[in-house]
Structure 1
Amino acid sequence: MAHKSTSLSSLALQKFKKNFWGVLSFMIILFYALIAVFAYVIAPDDTKYANQMHISIHSQPPGFTVDLLSIGTDEEEPKFWDWWNGKSSNVEEIPFSEVKLENGSVFYSPFDIDGKELPFIKTRWNVPEGMELSRFRESYTSQKTFLLGTDKYGRDLLSRMIIGTRISISIGFIAVLISLLIGISLGAIAGYYGGKIDAAIMWLINVTWSIPTLLMVIAISIALGKGFLTVFIAVGLTMWVEVARVVRGQMIVAKEYQYVTAAKALGFNSFRIITKHILPNIMAPVIVISAANFAASILIESGLSFLGLGARPPMPSWGSMIKDHYQYIILDKAYLAIVPGIAIMTLVMAFMLLGNALRDALDVKTS
């Protein structure tokens, strides 16, 4: 007869699988994570930060199609890491309505949103001698469809959204990692040793807790300077307090259990007792609060980017995309701000639902 595993981890996994919203939120998070990893492979504009600007076709609706004239050549050879960093391109894309060749020179009629016929403009680029227009069109022109339209600078909104996923996923991961390292360490020390050490750490926790999170993040960002890495540090340093309080409370209770007394009797040192015996048994609430902190860090980063303190242009961020287009909400192009807003809402809600599902699955008091 086959033996059915009844370990706590197996029971928690079985309970989690039965939670529809938990499984759905996990799949959504996994979907966003895959997009973040393979962003430049998926994005239609695979140049670095998807920053190909076409001012003449700014703020176009989803499904907009235009002919592009590609002028210039890529001087750099493709590199293996282009799939991760995006490729460097010297090719200039020019939206046009008509193109012609005269005496080896290229002339194009710029694209006009209103459909007007504009005069031809001569480029500084010459074509090989004897090249026919049909061959030139085949080699140097293309038709591009912007599935989500273009932003106010004429950039592909879909590509910016895809690459912006990296900002949200990475800020959540790094910020939670920093908060766990600081929070678990201080919380475990305070709860295990108690006394003056506990009082000092609790004083630090209470002082940090009393400062509004967004205000502290802004202060850290200003002190360390604007930048992507600064946001990581600032958000992570504001989230360790909750982790520390939870770990401290769990540690105070757990250190009185018999297995801790037995470990002390066997002569194990405090570091081993904390790391090998107590922490593995109190990680359930820490995992739950980490999911909530992940969601909170995404919101904080979006708020900082909206205020201009987050990711610096041209790096795409969902928060900065809302900032650039929030005035369009009262016009007929509200989707420019709504699309990144929906992405933020979906990812944050997925992490909150995942946290609730993990709380139910890891609760040993429920059946």
Structure 2
Amino acid sequence: MQRTKSNSLSTLALQKFKKNFWGVFSFWFIVLCAFIAIFAYVLAPDNSQNANQMHLSIHSKKPGFSVKMLTIPSANEADQSFFDRIFFGTKNLDIEIPIEDYSFHNTTLKITPYTEGELIGISKDIPLDNFPKGTGKEEIEDKFIKNHSFILGTDKYGRDLLSRMLVGIRISFSIGFVAVFISLILGISLGAVAGYFGGKVDAAIMWLINVTWSIPTLLLVIAITLALNKGFWQVFVAVGLTMWVEVARVVRGQVLSVKQMQYVTAAKALGYSHFRIITRHILPNSLAPVIVISAANFAGAILIESGLSFLGIGAQPPMASWGAMIKDHYSYIILGKAYLAIIPGLGIMSLVMAFMLIGNALRDALDVKG
């Protein structure tokens, strides 16, 4: 017996989506970025919290820069669980010193710290007592003196730029998810109520939508952020509270159309509650455009957060944020080190473009008439 092909709308939409090269490519790119965001500290060369290990003597170095790094272990051990280290970074109490040369003299390790240009570094003597007891010279060379390469170079504070980029992707993903979640909760709820009940309820909600819509988005976000105080979660809430308007308008329009259908009339005749009719009969048949808007809102949230961080009212230092990284280094564009601002800029651009492309692919896939 031959299996019959499923012709459900979801199956047809999935088949159309799979045929869209840029949509599928964007989907896997976003999945890769999500994986990096979750395991950023496992992948980052600098796994300290916020990838904030500073070495001012090697600031603003070009991609591929290498230097010998001496690590002096701390006598105190940080109390951290395994999962805490993986997902939130290591509380690094060790001291790292970039060096040019070193030699052993009896009970001391003589080092020449790294210096730039023609300056000659002043030698320093480090007692071998700073290392664990019983550690020989060969073991010190093997464990505590290593050649450290910076694939993307270092920023103006001497931090590993690659590690900051990997950890910074968390901010962009988090702001997108939280802001879109808040906008969907508010937008779908208010839009469905306005479209279903109509009359004065519709007029009141539409008045609120129009007032919110008339205020410039960035200005409204800044006002909410300042009201809630500057910080990580405050930005998420502020962005979410400004993105619900478009969702509400689209949902309202869809509900106005769907509620005229015969199955809705039948549900009313059977005596079902308004809540059940809205949630089980109207909304499931109205959410296709909302999925597309959510992808665009995700991209918009990333851009808004980057703009706020650039203005200094987004994620606060030492937290890694792509927008803040551009702010710290935009002046380097005219100093011959433009890559310090261009690299995080390319990160923002690629992630936003991926969400816009997947939004376009979803729009085409969910277009039943097409």
Q: TM-score range by the shorter chain?
A: over 0.9
User: How far did residue 115 of structure 1 move?
Assistant: 5.6
User: How far did residue 72 of structure 1 move?
Assistant: 2.4
TM-score for both structures, normalised by structure 2: 0.96
User: How far did residue 258 of structure 1 move?
Assistant: 0.5
d(CA) in 2 for partners of 1:43, 1:72 = 20
* Preserved CA contact (<8 Å) 1:106 1:126: no
Q: Does 1:143 align with 2:147?
A: yes
Match of 2:124 in 1: 121
- Flag the 1:130–1:357 CA change in 2: closer, same or farther, 3 A: closer
User: How far did residue 141 of structure 1 move?
Assistant: 1.1
Q: Does 1:64 align with 2:68?
A: no
One-letter code of the match for 1:91? D
> Match of 2:212, SS?
helix
> Match of 1:199, SS?
helix
User: How far did residue 28 of structure 1 move?
Assistant: 1.2
Which residue of 175, 184, 194 corresponds with 1:171?
A: 175
User: How far did residue 80 of structure 1 move?
Assistant: 1.7
* Preserved CA contact (<8 Å) 2:72 2:130: no
Question: How big is the alpha-carbon RMSD for the aligned residues of Structure 1 and Structure 2?
Answer: 1.5
Match of 1:309 in 2: 313
**CA distances 1:296-343 after superposition (whole Å, capped 9, x unpaired):** 000000000000011010000000000000011112211000000001
Deviates more, 1:111-120 or 1:253-262: 111-120
User: How far did residue 127 of structure 1 move?
Assistant: 4.7
Match of 2:286 in 1: 282
d(CA) in 2 for partners of 1:267, 1:134 = 83
- Flag the 1:125–1:154 CA change in 2: closer, same or farther, 3 A: farther
Which residue of 214, 219, 225 corresponds with 1:215?
A: 219
Match of 1:88 in 2: 91
Match of 1:36 in 2: 37
User: How far did residue 124 of structure 1 move?
Assistant: 6.7
One-letter code of the match for 1:80? F
Deviates more, 1:66-75 or 1:215-224: 66-75
d(CA) in 1 for partners of 2:143, 2:236 = 44
> Match of 1:274, SS?
helix
- Flag the 1:285–1:130 CA change in 2: closer, same or farther, 3 A: closer
Q: How many residues align?
A: 366
**CA distances 1:183-239 after superposition (whole Å, capped 9, x unpaired):** 000000000001111111011000000000000000111111000000100000000
User: How far did residue 140 of structure 1 move?
Assistant: 1.8
**CA distances 1:78-127 after superposition (whole Å, capped 9, x unpaired):** 52221101111110110011223345233321101226432202347635
> Match of 1:145, SS?
strand
> Match of 1:126, SS?
helix
TM-score for both structures, normalised by structure 1: 0.97
Match of 2:9 in 1: 8
- Flag the 1:285–1:126 CA change in 2: closer, same or farther, 3 A: same
Unaligned runs of 5+ in 1: none
> Match of 1:339, SS?
helix
**CA distances 1:123-166 after superposition (whole Å, capped 9, x unpaired):** 47635688654332223211110000000000000000000000
Match of 1:226 in 2: 230
* Preserved CA contact (<8 Å) 2:289 2:363: yes
d(CA) in 2 for partners of 1:25, 1:135 = 47
Match of 1:246 in 2: 250
d(CA) in 2 for partners of 1:58, 1:123 = 24
* Preserved CA contact (<8 Å) 2:107 2:127: no
One-letter code of the match for 1:120? S
Match of 1:101 in 2: 104
1:45-60 residue pairs with structure 2 within 5 A?
Answer: 45-60=46-61
* Preserved CA contact (<8 Å) 1:100 1:133: no
> Match of 2:82, SS?
coil
* Preserved CA contact (<8 Å) 2:73 2:130: no
- Flag the 1:136–1:207 CA change in 2: closer, same or farther, 3 A: same
d(CA) in 2 for partners of 1:126, 1:210 = 67
